[in-house]
Amino acid sequence: MTGQPVWRSTPACSGAADVFFPLEGGYTALNAAKAICAGCDVIDQCAAYVDELERDVCIQLGVWAGRSQNERQAARREERRLARRQEARERYQSAAS
Ligand code: SF4
């Protein structure tokens, strides 16, 4: 992945980096960023973008697509858990047939 994707040229968070990467303020600060994401026209593209970045390159800090870093990590763990369960189910069904 190289450069900035086109959809990032005018997202709802433009110029609000301090809101999306709060150094303090806890949940109140995170919720301020999430509220902006909730009205963003490119939230789906943003979610796909950060998902790819975090899988391939590095962990991204801050709020992206309405999720904190911890929430994104938890979603990926759940995704992996479901994939393992599905894989085990398919192995069992294959062995049983
Ligand atoms: S979803 Fe949130 S972080 Fe992503 S581009 Fe929109 S406002 Fe910015």
Sign of CA dihedral 76, 78, 84, 89: negative
Would the CB of 53 count as within 6 Å of ligand 1? no
pTM: 0.78
Question: How remote is the CA of residue 37 from the centroid of ligand 1, in Å?
Answer: 5
Dump pLDDT digits (tens) for 67-88: 998 899 899 899 999 999 999 9
| Per-residue pLDDT tens over the stretch 22-71 | 878 888 989 999 999 999 999 999 999 998 888 777 667 889 999 998 89
φ/ψ (deg, to 5) at 64: -135, 135
Residue 7 has pLDDT above 90, yes or no: no
Q: Is the CB–ligand 1 distance for residue 33 below 6 Å?
A: no
Q: Is 24 helix (H, G, I), strand (E, B) or coil?
A: coil
Evaluate: CB of 48 within 6 angstroms of ligand 1: no
Nearest-atom index, ligand 1, CA of 41: 6
Q: Are 24 and 62 in contact (CB under 8 A)?
A: no
Q: 76 CA distance to ligand 1 centroid (A)?
A: 19
Q: 55 or 2: whose pLDDT is higher?
A: 55
